[in-house]
Chain A
């Protein structure tokens, strides 16, 4: 191979090497209880749980699903609606109190409309009863239950439910 053709090749190799490291995007969990699943499908069983604000490293994407590495050596697929590109900070008293909400790249967990605001709202509106809302939230259905429900009722998801 001629020397003149080697230079562009070296540049390409260097660029690929440099971008490979940057390809692992870090996202944050933006839901209270996120589930990692064994494959990219709503029919796949859960393998681990991730918590609000957990940073996850995106390994690859398939449709709306992302395979991620999560804290504690956990790995699995999670739907993109559970993740945000913003860094999550626990806000005052949290892990990164130096981060300000004025940055559009950072979301402060527990700030804005939060439990404290709800508590003040409830004090001002005594007739609004949250008891049934709390009861609703206690009704939790596992992924196994939904899969069994569909199977027993002869409901057949399309293409294995990959979405």
Chain B
């Protein structure tokens, strides 16, 4: 007891000092530029200072600052825009199969949860193509699906698209100026209701963002680096879930045989399949491909009969 009373005061003082020090460090971080600009008698008033700080913060923001909710709205509009050029293939059972398979793969990815979840749709087109709209809306053509020889290859195609969603590759296509506009409007208004001009500015930034992403998906394509990233994520998903990772390489080789390099669709927006197979490397070689179990083959055959 004597010991306790003897040391309790110094210990209390020490703990208080630690707490005070940590609080003051936090306050320093929080204050910074705003307080400097708000010095009494300075050249700017407090409202202007706040505005400068907010503007600076907005400029520093990138696609990574887009919330999953906003990504969801961009993705919806991108998918709707792509669906202007491609007719949906409405077969209920075929789309159900694609969704169960796709959902299983998405759950095994590094990003199983998006704001609105993953959803898949078959496009009624002979073109060999697939699109991943931000947030998890994935569109695959009948032409692409008809190239698949088994369920593992369909899984490889979907896993590659999931890889693009996981990496938020679509959002990287959005021009910084659009994001700066959107974030500046948000920062300036805070929790207050938007006025008409702010909503107009936001809508314009939204239109531009949707157009940037759609143009990349349908025309210019992603960089080789992002395609490699999506392939690597696909291989990781296939291995994790128990599909043959060699299915991705074999599917790419199949595409290489069938695609006209100067043609539309996938050939136009993706690097040469041969280069991609090489980049995937030994981790997902094609040599070990074995026949799928009977039940898997049966449901795949049923699916293909509808596609």
**Interface of A toward B, CB cutoff 8 Å:** 3, 6-7, 10-11, 14, 18, 30-34, 42, 52, 64, 78-79, 81-82, 84, 89, 91-92, 94, 96-102, 104, 107-118, 120-121, 124-125, 127-130, 132-133, 136-137, 139-141, 143, 145-146, 149-150, 152-158, 161, 163
Say whether A128 contacts B242, CB under 8 Å.
no
Nearest A residue to B297 via CB reads A153
Q: Is the interface of B mostly helix, strand, loop or mixed?
A: helix
Residues of B within 8 A of A140 (CB): 117
Say whether A161 contacts B3, CB under 8 Å.
no
Nearest A residue to B69 via CB reads A109
B177 within 8 A of A: no
Given contacts A120-B203, A152-B295, contact A91 B108 (CB under 8 A): no
How many pairs, one residue from A and one from B, have CB atoms within 8 Å of each other in the complex? 201
Say whether B79 contacts A133, CB under 8 Å.
yes
Give the top 10 A-B pairs by smallest Cβ distance, nearest first.
A100-B190, A154-B293, A82-B113, A153-B296, A42-B107, A141-B103, A113-B70, A146-B104, A136-B119, A81-B113
Min Cβ gap A161→B in Å is 7
Min Cβ gap A44→B in Å is 10
Say whether B112 contacts A107, CB under 8 Å.
no
Given contacts A31-B68, A101-B190, contact A113 B74 (CB under 8 A): yes
- Which single member of A14, A114, A121 contacts B69 (CB below 8 Å)? A114
B226 within 8 A of A: no
Say whether A111 contacts B186, CB under 8 Å.
yes
Residues of A within 8 A of B182 (CB): 112-113
